[in-house]
Amino acid sequence: MMYKGSCHCGKVAFQVEGELNGAMECNCSICSRKGALMWFVPRDAMQLLTPEEDLGTYTFNKHLIKHRFCKTCGIHPFGEGTDPKGNRMAAVNIRCLEGIDLGSVPVQHFDGRSM
């Protein structure tokens, strides 16, 4: 299934293909502040529909994950990184997807704070 997502102002829009059968909520220092519900997909399954330069990048700690955000409205629609095997991955914030029933997506809790 193809999903469309965007930030609040629309300067960042993307589409992502896959089966949304769960999301992850993490309690680490950044996720708890963002309140993001993340869905992990191969980065190639996600396509940015707006110019790359409208996205800001925030990294911290080991700088392994690129937290991408809209430079205009500040919403964080996704992050980018690599899995342990070196595959490029995206963590899509499903709160930014259109036409989904957030309450119907099973959420797993991840103890990122303890990592």
- Binding residues vs Zn ion (CB under 5 A): 7, 9, 11, 70, 72-73
DSSP annotation string for 64-102? -SEEEEETTT----EEEEE-TTS-EEEEEEGGGBSS--G
Asked if 65 contacts 59 with a C-beta cutoff of 8 angstroms, the reply is yes
* Between 52 and 111, CB nearer to Zn ion: 52
Closest contact distance (angstroms) between CB of 98 and Zn ion is 14
Closest contact distance (angstroms) between CB of 76 and Zn ion is 10
Give the strand pairing for 46-48 and 2-6.
unpaired
CA distance 56 to 51: 11
Copy the structure tokens of residue 61.
């700690």
Q: Phi and psi (nearest 5°) for 34? A: -75, -35
